[in-house]
Every structure is written in structure tokens, then in C-alpha cells.
Amino acid sequence: MAVQKVLALNSNNQPQQYTPLQASAGSGSAGAIPALNAAGLIDETMLPEALATTILASEAIAAGAMVNVWDNSGTLNVRNANATDTTKPCNGWAPSAIGSSSTGQINFGGINPSVALGAFTVANIGQQVFLSTVSGGVVAASNAFSSGNLVQSLGTIVGVGATVSVAFIPEIVAVF
């Protein structure tokens, strides 16, 4: 469907047709009227960026890995989250790989589209996922843990393809 037009007053105070924008071009689009895109949604370019920051990695982190932000002797660092105990709870995810002693972006919300496929299938869409006890910021399909383990829900699977997409909403459920 074509974008519906609206009437607006031009600089001479005369009515003129105006076509709302389906995507933002950044600050040049300030004040523009938005229109839904072909999917019937507001385009991602018109939404605020995910809450994110750049942090120094204390170990290598894979793209899509769930991470733990921590104080390393007064310096903010990030490392792979792990549910083996309570020392590395997940509080973010890495949208791209980060080398050890390098800085990289860490997101604190949104959809993580880069979770490793592992044993997940399309049948898992809608399923809650948990932080794993496996090293590397891995996502687990179940909360089957042992004594001393952290049980942390990471969110819900919203897509499965070459990778898994998880709506990231972390919450600590319990400590075994």
C-alpha cells in the first residue's frame, strides 16, 4: 500500500500535500511525520538505539554471547556470563565479537539476534531460555542446574534460523 499523504501548510501558509517518512535519515528527518513501513511497523531507524556502551573485555567474547559487566580493580570490564555460581550473572550481550583486552559494544536490552543455534529449533520459539553453566556466555534451553548454580532467565526465543534471536529480559530466578 502506498504511503498516505497528509495536508500541511507550506511557507506561504498554503495547503500542500506532504508524504510522511517510512524511514529516518537521522537528524535531517527531525520534525518529520512518521508512516508505517511495508510490514505495517514503525521502521527501526525511527526508534531509539538500544541502551548500550563500549567496554573493555577481560577475555575473548563471541558475537551474541551473554556477558557480565564487572569492576576489575576500578576499571569497568566485561567477560562471558556463566551460571556455575553467582559471580558472573548476565547483565548484557555482545552484538559482535570482542577480542581479549579490546573494547566492544555491550547491549543491555533489545533483541539479541546472534545467539548460537546449538540444539534450538523453530519449535523453541516462545520458549524461555536460561544462562548456561557452559563457559562462553552460552544460552541454555532448560533450567536444570546443580547445587550452587545461578538460575537466571535471559528472555524468550523470538526467532530461529542460522542463529537464535532472544528478546533479552534478564532476571535472576534463584540460586541452587
The full set of domain ranges for the chain reads 6-46, 52-107, 111-175
- pLDDT tens digit sequence for 18-70: 889 888 888 888 888 888 888 788 887 887 766 889 999 999 999 999 999 99
Q: How is residue 7 written as a grid cell?
A: 495536508
> In the beta sheet, which residues pair with residue 105?
54
The owner of cell 552460552 is: 138
Asked if residues 129 and 139 have their Cβ atoms less than 8 Å apart, the reply is yes
Lowest mean pLDDT among 1-5, 131-135, 138-142, 167-171: 1-5
In this structure, what DSSP letter does residue 63 have? Answer: T
Predicted pLDDT of residue 54: 95
Mean pLDDT of the chain: 91
